[in-house]
Chains A and B, each alone.
Chain A
Amino acid sequence: AQSVTQPDIHITVSEGASLELRCNYSYGATPYLFWYVQSPGQGLQLLLKYFSGDTLVQGIKGFEAEFKRSQSSFNLRKPSVHWSDAAEYFCAVGHPNTGNQFYFGTGTSLTVIP
């Protein structure tokens, strides 16, 4: 069965520090992979996505993620965190061959301290 695991429920980093949010998936084939961010009271905004090709993808707001097939991972990174990055981050997987569903992880809450 398809599943997405975000092992870190909550992460706290200092402003300016680097960030890595972990995502592991279980899927029958190489899925399409996504990272979304949810600010309080707002909807989900796409940060970046991976469909195929270069395994290092760049997204908005200075985020990047790397697809590692051998580890079934798609970790999100940012070299220098800003206070405005404090939010909930969701990893998601989907694939058109298995229907329209997107499977979301449980989310990682990011706190940024000055």
Chain B
Amino acid sequence: EPEVTQTPSHQVTQMGQEVILRCVPISNHLYFYWYRQILGQKVEFLVSFYNNEISEKSEIFDDQFSVERPDGSNFTLKIRSTKLEDSAMYFCASSGGLGEKLFFGSGTQLSVL
């Protein structure tokens, strides 16, 4: 079965530093998502991306966050100035259409020290 891949699997950073989380969605998918899961809490929607622009974002996705699809294969999440509370598992997902099955990556565990 096709896979969504995410790199790195673990990222440790100092508070205030910028991080970029990388994702390679499934090649023929059109919709891309970022979710996060703080330890012990539920999976939270951050942002969805379609046709090279953000289609929806949650309250969590403030000005310190940005997403980009720099080429035909990668989908990145940038956090400009990390805070302690950004520590979480970040999941990338993609789907072929609205409401369709989401394929999730294995996640990037971000630890902000």
Contact = CB atoms under 8 A, between A and B. Distances in A.
Interface string A93-114: 0111001111111110000000
B65 interface: no
B30 to A, nearest CB: 11
B56 interface: yes
B25 interface: no
Given A43-B105, A100-B56, A101-B56, A32 B42 contact: no
Given A90-B43, A96-B99, A101 B48 contact: yes
A55 B43 CA distance: 26
Contact of A103 (B45, B55, B99, B105): B45
Main secondary structure of the interface of B (DSSP, over half): strand
Contact of B104 (A32, A36, A94): A36
A43 B91 contact: yes
B44 A104 contact: yes
Interface residues of B, number: 27
B42, B43, B93 interface centre (most CB from chain A within 10 Å): B43
Interface of A: 32, 34, 36, 41-46, 49, 51, 90, 92, 94-96, 99-107
Given A42-B106, A51-B99, A106-B41, 20 more contacts: A34-B102, A36-B104, A43-B91, A43-B104, A43-B106, A43-B107, A46-B101, A46-B103, A92-B43, A99-B55, A99-B56, A100-B48, A101-B56, A101-B58, A102-B45, A104-B35, A104-B42, A104-B44, A104-B45, A106-B42
27 contacts: A32-B99, A42-B106, A42-B107, A43-B6, A43-B104, A43-B105, A44-B43, A44-B91, A44-B102, A45-B104, A46-B101, A49-B101, A90-B43, A92-B43, A96-B97, A96-B99, A100-B31, A100-B33, A100-B48, A100-B55, A100-B56, A100-B98, A102-B45, A102-B102, A104-B35, A104-B43, A105-B42
Interface of B: 4, 6, 31, 33, 35, 41-45, 48, 50, 55-56, 58, 91, 93, 97-99, 101-107
